[in-house]
Structure 1
Amino acid sequence: MSAVPQQLHFSVEEYRARLQRTQAEMERHRLDALLLHQPENIAWLSGFFHDGFFAYHALLIPAAGDPVLIERALEDPVAQELSWVTDRRGYFDGEDPEALAAAAVAELCGDNARVAVELDSAFLPLTRFRRIGSLLPNAELVSHNAIVEELRQIKSAQEIAYIRAAGLIASAAVSAGLAAARVGATELDIAAAVAQAQAAHGHDSFFGGLGGTICSGWRTIQLHGQQTGRTLEAGDRLRLELPGIHRQYWAKQMRSTVLGRPDDALLRAHDILRAAQDTAIAAMGPGVPAAHIADLCRRPVLDAQLIDRYENRVGYGLGIQFHPTSGDFALDIDHRTSRKLESGMVFHMLLFAAGAAISETVVVTDAGCELLTHGPRSLPEVG
């Protein structure tokens, strides 16, 4: 008997319901197997996650029956704790993991199986894809990236509860970061305060460090710049974009400010962004076109001439995420999309222009929209 206690993040019934929905989509697309390599998709269906996805891992979903987890043997204690999947096939370093995956496909689905793979996943490089193909010469390998990605967009009640907890963590992290911002402090001093607040409020994943952005002075033009030892000076602008992570489910919040008295231009820009985002969030609900929400965000920014063009997305999906990604590009809110919002979708809504930036994490509900991050939305006073 294993000495590792099983501590699933969701009930086996919820995992099985996800599996059944996935297999129903596979039947619709005439697939015999789905061979997953994207960590978020593996975790969503199996519960298995860790910081070792640099090594080969895959989850085989047959058209009927239970999944098979292909894992680095060293990671099996994690699978024992977090995964409901009992058919786990491990390899040792130096062995051939692609052969293990191909053998599982042939065993469960036959030599002539029609197998979908995620060709846009960074965790299935071309060399591995070709290797799997060479080991399954009679199989038909087809690209299918959307099945699990789309199913993941509608969150269950338990998933939303985890993101709600993450929202409290993100809000506490931003509040602590702003409180630590003063002339003479460094970005690393702010990072230390942020990390302490995250941990104190239940942040349970530091796989990628803080997981966010702390930039000051000229560095605020870097959208994803990381904290350094730079010392804050009077008049410096400051931008924090910080996550809370609970059970590997993310929420985010962004705030910007200036050390000292803000000038009228920054106050005006912040007020315009805040009002536009307030209007857009209030308009969110099931059936609302995402492009309409994008226009509610973009149009006031453009009309006020804060920026010549606003081509960035104003919202993107959040849920279960692994570094290096911290958001879901499959679920964007921009003016080009034809998607409509659905209850259970979770978004990081963000606007930035003219040195100002603001964001919140929200969930679309049957009644409209709920904020999952909290705190004052006026321009913060620091320094």
Structure 2
Amino acid sequence: MDLVAIARHFPACVEGELRITPITDGLINATYRVELLAGGQQFILQKINTAIFRNPAAVARNHSLVNELLAKTSYPRQLVRQLKTTVGNDLLTVDAQSAWRLLDFVTGAHTIHKANSPATAFEAAKTLGEFLFYLNQHSSAEPEETLPGFVDFAGRMRAYQAALGSASPTRRQQAAAAIHLVNKYLTLPDQWIAWQAADSLPRRIIHGDPKISNVLFDSNNQGLCVIDLDTVMSATLLYDFGDMARSYTNETVEDDAQATSVFDPDMYLAVKQGFSHHLGKLLAPIEAKNLDYAAQTVIFIQAVRFLTDYLNGDVYYATRHATHNLDRAQNQLRLLTELTHFLTI
């Protein structure tokens, strides 16, 4: 793969010597930093993973839609532009399974991969909440669906039941403790599923992957901008809050099944305060009253997804060892148990 040849399809990179280096932080797309040696200008070159995002053109159109909506408001943060190809397209399609794009590089920014203090968690949640607040101002526009069924919790539970029925006896036995705990919480998502069926939750544009590394910070650890818009979708804001709570409050790595304590209550309170800092003016009563429930439910559904994949023989998530998905499920169930205990104190 000739990365320089690919970069040359974008006007900003047509001339001059280029230095292209991989950025290994992402889990889905292949991402590279492109630097023009003559002037030092930098860009992000990215290959969209078409095994996950089967309609990369929709991903690109959603990115443009988000920028257009935010540009119509007084949103104070930087927007990351998609730069056109030499023929005026958002994407360079090399073949049926290869879609490339060039994005702005945000100078003076850094990423944080794990919240290291409640103050950092608050700032990240506030920055994402601000992004969502301005994105949902006075607009009926909806992103195109790029991840079908992503927030279909009824579908996630059906998949779990099917996996439970078809799993090998060995895997069911190895996962017995996790299955027992999932079954203990089996009715947890019922209210959410009922709301979805009745269309009771306000439909908003959400980020879909609000982990802390999708917020860029400046040198003072203040939020600079929100990145990675591939997963934006129409859903409930409760999902983004729940996934923030899930990913920010875990004191260990996501696949640590041995830790006896994983939940940080101070991080949780900071995320809740940060998320509501701007969005408190937008949230409907059903949203504002159910943040705690959302956190529990999203954590539970992620545990179910990991356990489902383990029972299915590890067909979706990449694994490094035989019980990797089971370890992930057990970690999430521990997080759920500790959060639930905290909320009942």
Normalised by the size of structure 2, how large is the TM-score? Answer: 0.30
Structure whose alpha-carbon radius of gyration is higher: 1
Query: Which has the larger share of helix?
Result: 2
Query: Which has the larger share of strand?
Result: 1
